[in-house]
Structure 1
Amino acid sequence: MIFNDEHSHISSGRNGYQVYDPGALPQLQSLLAILADIDVDHGNNLRLIENKRMDDASKDRMIADLWQKHRKRRAPYVHEIDSLRKRMIAAFR
C-alpha cells in the first residue's frame, strides 16, 4: 500500500510494515559519529593554532590549510551520508 501526499511517499509491505534497509540507521549513526570525531579533532587543532604565538599571516595560512584538510577529511563521509539518504528516499517511493 502506498500513502501519498504532496510531501511524502511511504510504502508498506504486504504485512503493513514500512519497508526499508534495516542497516540504514546503524550506518547513519556510525557515519555521524565519525563526522563528530572529525569535527572535535578539527576544533582542538584550530584552538591550538589560534593560541600559538606567531605572526598573523602565518597563523591565517595555517588556519586556511587546516580548514582545507578538514573539508577533505569529511568529504567521503558526507558523500556516504548523501548516498544513504538517496537510497532511503528511493526505498519509500
Structure 2
Amino acid sequence: MKSGMSREQVRSILRNPDLSTVAVLPKSPFFGPQESLVHFLKPGTSFEEWQYTDGGTIYLVWFCGAKEEPRESWRVVTKFSYPKGVVF
C-alpha cells in the first residue's frame, strides 16, 4: 500500500474492507490509531478509514481528498497496523 493509491487499487490488493468509517479528524490531543493522521491532515478534515483484520493484526487504510472532491475519488493518505486487542 502506498500513499496516492486509489480505492480500486486498494481493493485489488486487499479486497473490500471488513469495516468502513467516515469521520472528521479532531483537534489534538486525542488517542488511538487515528492520532498518526495529524502528520498528514489538518483538524476538521474528513477522512475515510478502511479496516481489515488478518489473524491477530488490524490494518487501517486512510483515504482523503480535496474538500469538494467526491469520496469515490479520495486517495490513500497513509496506513497503520496494530495487534488485535490493543487498547488505546
TM-score (norm. length: structure 2): 0.23
Higher strand share: 2
Which structure: larger Rg?
Answer: 1
Higher helix share: 1
